[in-house]
Structure 1
């Protein structure tokens, strides 16, 4: 009988230092994020991809490749196995014959942050954590506060004052300790850093604990499984902190080592950013291994307004290794794409997700993506969480008794 998890240890991707996974660790001594490693040989001997496919629709179907030892420690709201659909009408508009959406808006808490929260909070609970803290642009804080409430863990959440209102309300109604800061997520991070240092609170900041990425990597598992255990040609991902793109790359490497997909075949990973906050794009253009802090960053795609990501070197490594690219889109382009996806395909997606569609269109026009390639755009949240991005124009106000006439 297979174990619930085959987690082995934590490892630094920069200096290769190893740490025990049954103890609380944050960054490596060298300052790098830590990654979770598994005994993949034992997984291979005890589990097949057919076993996985016959399990219930939850990200926890991949539990042997997740870091929680005991099923009783899993904190779940039924997350995972989100829609993966071909978009024929929009694809025709873009000149793409095989355009797909992986829709992370259709998930508890309404965003892909749910995945990291489920796995991250579950492992924190297993490690005995009683209080956590994190900076957030909104959705991550909302997700972690809600999952922490179910785990009976106190969550201190610090977010920018102009973060989406609904995410503030999600933290509040979950009983989270909510704080708003007149600044960016980087400013919120400094406040959380002081709290962690002074009070010894568990630091759940992006990549400062190793387990959020393990939840996010399940998007990669699902895309491959939903695609018939095949690898698409291109995956476009809205990139702020970059955990999602790092996780998808990690998932594909693990699936290759398990022999569940073809060895050495990668999708070209595309990091999509807004022109108003594009540190990864600037670094990629120059062939650099790390990014530079992006001054005066601003975008309506609030979730990717991250001027300097802790794991930027891992994002760039995944792009270089898969022969992908990084691209920035304008506010006009992403808002136009958001409207197109809704009006042509019926998906009201978030502005971050819309950025990936705007990027797919640009890359097709540039010839970087070919017409028959299989292209996956990640929508990372519900559009209804960002009502301010949609302006209603030209709507007639009726009085009782007025008639509507159809123009033929």
Structure 2
């Protein structure tokens, strides 16, 4: 590995968030190998050795790889990129009484390659896998993650096997196939897809990049937190609303803020995190309000927000921990309310967001009406993708 091509990554090791076992960063890993644990593995960095100053970022490309010191890829030759990251933060202006006394921002992840935030996680996961010699991937997906994996696999000359529910909008299936992936439709939900993907991964030696069942998609998602802080001049909002299916982003953003405080780039203030779910699959919402440590499996079938149909997130306990540490909240939203919110954002602000993103606007209105959101607070809605892929699910009013 030449010094010329070596990044200044401060990545040192992986640690299990459940039992604390440490893992070598130079070999492939999925989850904790202890059969009684199977916890999530988290990337750790020697941040005390950091010499980068935040003002130096201004001279770097507008990409998530501007934070390469705090990402797990050692050799720049292994970075697989399509220009992902550094998506805009826009202020909402035209939605009347709901905005009175509040500053409401929307970070628009639809500007990423393949039109969603999934590009972040898959760019980092595929890059690290390439560094470790992996060239065949498998993933269960509700749509966007499959398209992102297909794109980064194509870019890295790797093979992608994708399993998605039959009820997934056609645009996602066409996208993944055009990008060269082998797509299999499953008569069921993403959990059913996951069981098949896991079985075939074990049988064929494919690398499973399921949500939080490998360590590095989380690192890509955490860059949303780095960007939010940088774009707000090293401040954080008072509240962040996040559409929560698998929940990688909500965990990643929280991880980012902890790292940024350790770096001395932000202070101790943290946003209150709000997990927004569909009534179809609202296990996190139910567990949060019932003060439980784990979510139960809930699947009430189809939702227009395909990405929210995750009956039981693998990281349920970690998501709930973040919500409670942040003094956050959770809201469950019906499909009719999602569609009303989507129409308000499109016609009112010119933003054709994903149904998952639209759910945030309805959740914001609910909590604003109750007084949970205070006068003068800054709120950020994190729209995870483009509405253009969802025309099978959404219609004009």
Q: Which portions of structure 1, spanning 4 or more consecutive aligned residues, are displaced by more than 4 angstroms?
A: none
8 Å Cα contact 1:159/1:185 also seen in 2: yes
Q: Secondary structure at the match of 2:157?
A: coil
CA RMSD of aligned residues (A): 1.3
Aligned position for 1:279: 283
| 1:32-181 map, 5 Å | 32-43=39-50, 46-90=51-95, 92-181=97-186
**CA offset at residue 330 of structure 1?**
1.5
Could you tell me which of 242, 263, 272 is aligned with 2:247? 242
Aligned equivalents of 2:184, 2:164: Cα separation in 1: 7
Q: Is the 8 A contact 1:270 1:327 kept in 2?
A: yes
Deviation at 1:3, TM superposition (A): 4.3
Work out whether residues 68 and 126 of structure 1, in 8 Å CA contact, stay in contact via their aligned partners in 2: yes
TM-score by length of 2: 0.96
Q: Name the structure 2 match of 1:379.
A: 383
Q: Is the 8 A contact 2:343 2:396 kept in 1?
A: no
Q: Does 1:335 align with 2:358?
A: no
- Who is 1:399 aligned against? none
TM-fit CA distance, 1:53: 3.0
8 Å contact from structure 1 (residues 297, 307) kept in 2:
no
Q: Which of 368, 388, 393 is the aligned partner of 2:392?
A: 388
| 1:269 corresponding residue in structure 2 | 273
**How many Å separate the matches in 1 of 2:396 and 2:349?**
19
Partners of 1:277 and 1:298 within 8 A in 2: no
Pick one of 181, 194, 203 that aligns with 1:198.
Answer: 203
Normalised TM-score (structure 1):
0.93
Deviation at 1:133, TM superposition (A): 0.6
Determine the structure 1 residue equivalent to 2:313.
Answer: 309
Distance in 2, Cα, partners of 1:32 & 1:195: 21
**2-structure distance, mates of 1:77, 1:37:** 25
Q: What is aligned with 2:220?
A: 215
Aligned partner of residue 388 in structure 1, secondary structure: coil
Partner of 2:19: 15
| Structure 2 unaligned spans of 5+ | none
- Answer yes or no: is the 8 Å Cα contact 1:338–1:351 preserved in 2: yes
SS at match of 1:327: strand
Q: For residues 391 and 107 of structure 1, what CA distance do their matches in structure 2 show?
A: 24
Structure 1 unaligned segments of length 5 or more: list them: 394-408
Q: How many residues align?
A: 390
CA drift at 1:344: 1.1
Q: Deviations over 1:352-385 (max 9, x none)?
A: 0000111011000011111310000011111111
The 3-state SS of whatever aligns with 1:9 is strand
Do the aligned residues in 1 keep the contact of 2:146 with 2:162 (CA within 8 Å)?
yes
- In structure 1, how many angstroms separate the alpha carbons of the residues matched to 2:311 and 2:127? 29
2:263 is matched with: 258
The answer as to whether partners of 1:96 and 1:364 remain within 8 angstroms in 2 is no
Max radius of gyration: which structure? 1
Q: Distance in 1 between matches of 2:176 and 2:299?
A: 28
Aligned partner of residue 75 in structure 1, secondary structure: coil
**Residues 269 and 322 in structure 1, CA contact (< 8 A), matched pair in contact too:** yes
Q: Cα distance, 1:92 vs. partner?
A: 4.1
SS of aligned partner of 1:10: strand
Distance 1:3 1:79 in 2: 18
Q: CA deviation at 1:49?
A: 1.0
